A and B are shown apart, each in its own frame.
Chain A
Amino acid sequence: MNILEWSFLSGVLTATAPVLLAALGGLICQVAGVFNIALEGQLLWGAFTAVVVSDLTGSAWAGVAGAAVATLLFAGLLSAAAVSLRADPIVVAVGLNLLALGLTAFLMRQIFGSGGTYTSPDLAGLPTLAELGLDVPVLGPQSPLVPVALLLVVAAAWWLGRTRSGLRARGVGQHAEAAAAVGLRVGGYRHGVTLAAGVLCGLAGAQLALGNVTLFSEGMSAGRGWIAVVAVMLSGVRPYRLLLACLLFGIAEAVGFRLQGAGLPQQAADAAPYVITLVALVLAAVAGRRRRENA
């Protein structure tokens, strides 16, 4: 069996893309000191609204835009409660995750008159890059949102390291009182990143529901938002490390699929992402200690 073939790398990117987009949202929140664990719910909400808008308009791009706007509004709940009203963001996020699960299932019955899985010929999926004329290996079978996700990693790194607002956002996250003392609007930065994370989760949901597949099914985020939260924690809030962490999960999933074919039990293949998380955490801790000892 040839594990390192183009279709394998392509499978890795497909599995990585929704997680990466959501994780970028989590990362910019983390930078400004908002621990955002509502990624799972926002991802699901994004997937649902993308399918609804695409189905209504017949345009996948309208679906992507609709998901971005709808999830921005959804993230507004988190931003209003956690930043303006100073509620515990963890508690609010748990509520939002449950709300997304119930609300999408309920609205699905209201709008489509059915539960479970919805698909229809009216539902437009995102085109692949190959269909748009860019027929290259690995990227060819992907939707245009996949290279967008990769470019957004570069953009996030540039924003955090090279721009005034990015550096200030980091200041807000590292020491809110000090940032406020030098005149930064702490709440403003936190509102901004929480809402931007909503947009990114909307894109993640659109990629999942219109890119990876062309349908909506209840609970289809299936833990990808939680994997994104873990990726943010593994990354040490650095965009390129975040990309590596997300790719690691994509590889774990794709390798797991292949190893199943080679006879590894499904349960063991399922455990792969979690084993990789543990190993990565241990390696990161060991590397951190060695660096401190050398210093």
Chain B
Amino acid sequence: MRITPALAGTAALFALAACGGGGEAGTTPASENPPAKSIILITPNPVGTNSFLQLGVKGAEAAAKDLGASFKLYESKDPTSIAQNVDAAVRAKPTVIVGISFSFDDVFSTVPKQHPGQQFLQVDSCAKDQAPNLACVSFKEHEAAYLAGVEAGLLTASGQIGVVAALDTPFIHRWIDPFFAGARSVKPEVTGTPLYVGGNNPFSDPARAKSQAQTLTGRGVDVIAAAASGGNQGVFEAVAASGGKAFGVDVNQCAQSPGNVIDNILKHVDVAEAAAIKEIVAGRTGGVKVYGLAEGGVGVTALAEDATASGCTVGDNPEVLAKVRQVRDDIVAGKTTVADPLQG
């Protein structure tokens, strides 16, 4: 077991800061003099080990370092503290205020209009009523899911694949439909079955996620994509017991269940966020920027230089690696188009 007092202390500080509403933590001054540029990042939840939010922090820190700007992190713990943190950030008048996720849809519909001189950036979603001083970053998750599907199609022995997803919502279908489409592009007879965790805590119920995965493996499914957030580990346990294989999501999860995870459907939040912050600081404000495979905003671990050393089982299959890279090039070149479930 790993006991790290420093980390634990930081976590406790974070928790306190989140309670304060406008607290700050993780300040990284770039120089001796107070820098002219500054970035404030507001998260919808405490960062903790939420890998998605960790990437968000990493991206903002990287951008701040490159720009010589100061960086402050405001962690929220619920919708009320999000609004309080945004108010506190606006009063601090930084160069850019960054909000992560759809949790900012409401507050970013109104606040940017009230403060036309302040620049805002929303990552991974966009407020419906977008003001000219609000820029948005969104991702083509479906392109990465399609690539993972190609791997699943090549590696399934039974011809049956599945997805265990948190909820049956249009957005989450970006991890489902393109995954099956990718598999069928290399093996047309593949059948795909999605199951949903649901229940009272769909994003963190590994027991239900495992039951769902067992339902799939019991029916002969041998490759399952885990899109159940905190429930993913339950899916890995189920495939480990049945001799199947799984896909992780958002970050490299291969090490969480060595030998059982083929690859991961990745979203490079840090890369896209850092690029968007630099654009805004350079004066190119507002608008929606979409990051797909072409922009390096999404991907799979197999595309990385060190794919064979990533701990993911896809590294053991050079022919799969080659095929995935070729399909990636086809998508980037426009030869293959991936249907977006959100566009009907």
The reply to whether chain A is a binding partner of chain B is yes
A215-B206, A217-B206, A222-B200 known; A7+B218 contact, CB < 8 A = yes
A106 → B minimal CB distance (Å)? 7
**Interface residue stretch chosen among A229-237, A255-263, A276-284:** A255-263
B216 / chain A contacts, CB cutoff of 8 Å: 261
In Å, the complex CA distance between A258 and B215 comes to 7
CB of A220 within 8 A of CB of B201, answer yes
Q: Choose one: B2, B50, B234; the contact of A213 (CB below 8 Å).
A: B234
A256 / chain B contacts, CB cutoff of 8 Å: 198
A253 / chain B contacts, CB cutoff of 8 Å: 208, 211
A214-B237, A266-B196 known; A119+B167 contact, CB < 8 A = no
Closest to B165 in A: A266
A112-B2, A217-B233, A223-B199 known; A257+B167 contact, CB < 8 A = no
Q: Choose one: B4, B15, B219, B233; the contact of A119 (CB below 8 Å).
A: B233
B178 interface residue, CB < 8 Å from A?
A: no
CB of A114 within 8 A of CB of B48, answer yes
B119 → A minimal CB distance (Å)? 31
A:79-120 near B, CB below 8 Å: 106, 109-117, 119-120
In Å, the complex CA distance between A155 and B192 comes to 46
- What are the interface flags for A5-36 relative to B under an 8 Å C-beta threshold, 1 for contact and 0 otherwise? 10100010011001000000000000000000
A212 / chain B contacts, CB cutoff of 8 Å: 207, 210-211
Q: Choose one: A110, A115, A226, A260; the contact of B50 (CB below 8 Å).
A: A115
Q: Choose one: A122, A218, A265; the contact of B230 (CB below 8 Å).
A: A218
CB of A110 within 8 A of CB of B214, answer no
- What are the interface flags for B17-48 relative to A under an 8 Å C-beta threshold, 1 for contact and 0 otherwise? 00000000000000000000000000000101
A109-B11, A113-B3, A115-B11 known; A220+B48 contact, CB < 8 A = no
Q: Choose one: B11, B49, B193, B233; the contact of A261 (CB below 8 Å).
A: B193
Q: Choose one: A106, A219, A222, A266; the contact of B168 (CB below 8 Å).
A: A266
B:256-309 near A, CB below 8 Å: 256
In Å, the complex CA distance between A110 and B6 comes to 10
B208 / chain A contacts, CB cutoff of 8 Å: 222, 253
Give how many A residues have a beta carbon under 8 Å from the other chain's beta carbons: 46
CB of B211 within 8 A of CB of A220, answer no
A120 / chain B contacts, CB cutoff of 8 Å: 1
A56 → B minimal CB distance (Å)? 7
- What are the interface flags for B40-64 relative to A under an 8 Å C-beta threshold, 1 for contact and 0 otherwise? 0000001011100000000000000
In Å, the complex CA distance between A212 and B231 comes to 13
A260 / chain B contacts, CB cutoff of 8 Å: 195-196
A7 / chain B contacts, CB cutoff of 8 Å: 214, 218
B3 → A minimal CB distance (Å)? 7
A135 interface residue, CB < 8 Å from B?
A: no
A270 interface residue, CB < 8 Å from B?
A: yes
CB of B198 within 8 A of CB of A270, answer yes
B157 interface residue, CB < 8 Å from A?
A: no
Closest to B232 in A: A117
CB of B48 within 8 A of CB of A115, answer yes
CB of B168 within 8 A of CB of A117, answer no
Interface residues on B, range: 35 or more
A169 → B minimal CB distance (Å)? 32
In Å, the complex CA distance between A55 and B2 comes to 10
B342 interface residue, CB < 8 Å from A?
A: no
B2 / chain A contacts, CB cutoff of 8 Å: 112-113
B205 interface residue, CB < 8 Å from A?
A: yes
In Å, the complex CA distance between A115 and B231 comes to 14
A129 interface residue, CB < 8 Å from B?
A: no
In Å, the complex CA distance between A110 and B14 comes to 12
CB of B196 within 8 A of CB of A106, answer no
A195 interface residue, CB < 8 Å from B?
A: no
Q: Choose one: A111, A215, A217, A266; the contact of B1 (CB below 8 Å).
A: A111
CB of A55 within 8 A of CB of B207, answer no
B265 → A minimal CB distance (Å)? 18
In Å, the complex CA distance between A15 and B212 comes to 11
B204 → A minimal CB distance (Å)? 5
In Å, the complex CA distance between A7 and B238 comes to 13
B8 interface residue, CB < 8 Å from A?
A: yes
A110-B12, A217-B230, A220-B206 known; A119+B211 contact, CB < 8 A = no
Q: Choose one: B193, B204, B237, B256; the contact of A222 (CB below 8 Å).
A: B204
A65 interface residue, CB < 8 Å from B?
A: no
A116-B49, A218-B230 known; A254+B211 contact, CB < 8 A = yes
B11 → A minimal CB distance (Å)? 4
A294 interface residue, CB < 8 Å from B?
A: no
Closest to B15 in A: A106
Q: Choose one: A55, A115, A261, A267; the contact of B215 (CB below 8 Å).
A: A261
Interface residues of A (CB under 8 A from B): 1, 5, 7, 11, 14-15, 18, 55-56, 106, 109-117, 119-120, 122, 208, 212-215, 217-220, 222-223, 226, 253-254, 256-258, 260-261, 265-267, 269-270
Give me 4 other A-B pairs in contact (C-beta within 8 A), A215-B234, A222-B205, A257-B211 excluded: A111-B8, A223-B200, A253-B211, A260-B195
What would 28 A/B residue contacts be, using CB atoms closer than 8 Å? A5-B218, A14-B211, A18-B207, A106-B15, A109-B12, A110-B11, A113-B8, A114-B7, A114-B49, A115-B11, A115-B46, A115-B48, A115-B49, A115-B50, A117-B233, A122-B1, A212-B210, A213-B206, A213-B207, A213-B210, A215-B233, A217-B205, A222-B199, A223-B199, A257-B195, A257-B212, A257-B215, A270-B199
Q: Which 5 A-B pairs have the closest CB atoms?
A: A115-B48, A223-B200, A266-B196, A222-B201, A266-B168
Interface residues of B (CB under 8 A from A): 1-4, 7-8, 11-12, 15, 46, 48-50, 167-168, 193, 195-196, 198-201, 204-208, 210-212, 214-216, 218-219, 230-234, 237, 256
